[in-house]
Amino acid sequence: MGAGFRIIAHRGASAHAPENTLPAFEEAIALGAREVELDVRFSADEEIVVFHDDRLDRKTPLHGRVRHYPGSVLRQADIGAWFDRTHPQEARSYAGTCLVGLDEVLAQIGDRVRYHIEMKGFEDLLPLRVLQVIDDHRLRDRVTVTSFSLRPLRQMRRLADDVPLCLLLRDTFDAVRSAEFRPELEGCTAAQVRDYWTDQAAASGFQQIGVRAAEVEPRTIARAQDRGLEVRGWGVRDDGELARLYDLGAVGATVDWPGRAIALLEQRGAPES
Q: Give the model confidence (pLDDT) of 202-243 as tens digits.
A: 999 999 999 999 999 999 999 999 999 999 999 999 999 999
Give pLDDT, residue 122: 79
Going by C-alpha positions, the residue among 175, 172, 180, 192 that lies closest to residue 154 is 180
The single-letter code of the amino acid at 90 is E
**Fold exhibited by the domain 6-267:** TIM Barrel (3.20.20)
The region that residue 187 occupies, defined by phi over 0 for left and psi between -120 and 50 for alpha, beta otherwise, is left
d(CA 273, CA 265): 11
CA distance 182 to 173: 15
**Strand-pair category, 48-50 with 143-147:** unpaired
Q: Which of 1-5, 20-24, 138-142, 269-273 has the lowest mean pLDDT?
A: 1-5
Chain centroid, CA 235 distance in Å: 10
Instruction: Write the CA distances from 251 to 12, 69, 110, 240, integer angstroms.
Output: 19, 38, 24, 16
Chain-centroid distance, C-alpha 36: 8
- Fill in the DSSP letter of residue 185: G
CA-to-CA separations, 174 to 105, 171, 218, in angstroms, rounded: 30, 5, 22
Whole-model pTM? 0.95
Residue 203 has a pLDDT of: 97
Q: What are phi and psi of 215, to 5 degrees?
A: -105, 0
Of the listed ranges 59-63, 118-122, 125-129, the one predicted with least confidence: 118-122
